[in-house]
């Protein structure tokens, strides 16, 4: 026998129209959350792009020159100071003396050794020239190293706040029947929490089972003692 819609309503079964209205109401309630999630996702993408640009951008000329000069000085110092042997013994004279003493002429030195020798000989002049050369480069200077660290910390703080805000909004959207994914990091954390909760539940069940068995054993012992 076919049940009419009016009979279904009287019997407490919602009609298709009622279900559709309820679904529409849920979607309407979830719309602000859905819009906010979209805005958060857009900002998260922008943060990732900004962080990538800041990390790859060129340093200011002063910092580039400082790093170049620091590298030149390290090459000069490696060549000028005594060097330890493989067995830990330290030579009593600079590397430059050792290398020049071992050859009749520096012509036999490798290209790298010859370069280091020139850096050692022309050290102060090279440092002055390095700063001038870098200053003459034509490029748009980016953030300093310190500013990169500060910008990175600000990005991390903002991202953490947005990720935390996004999670309950996604649950609101899902409750409205809309399939929407958490961020991978959020889903991983939720999965880990679910696994830990399942393990705790299993441990609790085992503990309760053990306690019940122990109680039964104790009751059985008491019963035997009373009969004895």
- Positive or negative, the Cα torsion across 176, 178, 184, 189? positive
Closest CA to 127 of 63, 66, 58, 64: 66
Two structure tokens written together for 202: 């299993």
The structure tokens 């889903």 sit at 187
CB 65 within 8 A of CB 131: yes
Model confidence, pTM? 0.60
Two structure tokens written together for 67: 């790093």
Q: Would you write out the chain's pLDDT as a tens digit for each of its 228 residues?
A: 445 544 544 455 557 777 777 777 777 788 899 999 999 999 999 999 999 988 888 999 999 999 999 999 988 887 777 655 555 556 666 766 766 676 565 556 677 777 877 888 888 888 889 999 999 999 999 999 999 999 999 999 999 999 999 999 999 988 888 888 999 999 899 889 889 988 998 999 988 888 888 888 888 887 777 776
């Amino acid at each position: 026998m076919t049940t009419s819609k009016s009979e279904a309503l009287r019997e407490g079964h919602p009609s298709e129209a009622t279900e559709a209205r309820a679904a529409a109401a849920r979607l309407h309630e979830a719309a602000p959350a859905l819009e906010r999630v979209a805005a958060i996702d857009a900002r998260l993408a922008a943060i990732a792009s900004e962080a990538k640009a800041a990390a790859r951008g060129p340093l200011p000329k002063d910092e580039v020159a400082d790093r170049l000069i620091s590298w030149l000085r390290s090459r000069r110092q490696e060549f000028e100071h005594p060097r330890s042997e493989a067995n830990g013994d330290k030579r009593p004279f600079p590397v430059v003396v050792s290398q020049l003493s071992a050859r009749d002429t520096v012509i036999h030195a490798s290209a790298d050794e010859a370069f280091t020798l020139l850096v050692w000989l022309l050290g102060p002049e090279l440092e002055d020239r390095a700063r001038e050369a870098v200053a003459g480069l034509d490029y748009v200077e980016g953030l300093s190293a310190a500013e990169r660290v500060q910008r990175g910390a600000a990005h991390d703080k903002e991202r953490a706040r947005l990720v935390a805000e996004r999670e309950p909004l996604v649950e609101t959207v899902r409750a409205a029947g809309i399939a929407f994914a958490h961020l991978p990091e959020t889903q991983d954390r939720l999965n880990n929490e679910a696994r830990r909760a399942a393990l705790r539940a299993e441990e609790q069940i085992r503990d309760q089972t053990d306690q019940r068995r122990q109680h039964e054993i104790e009751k059985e012992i008491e019963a035997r003692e009373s009969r004895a």
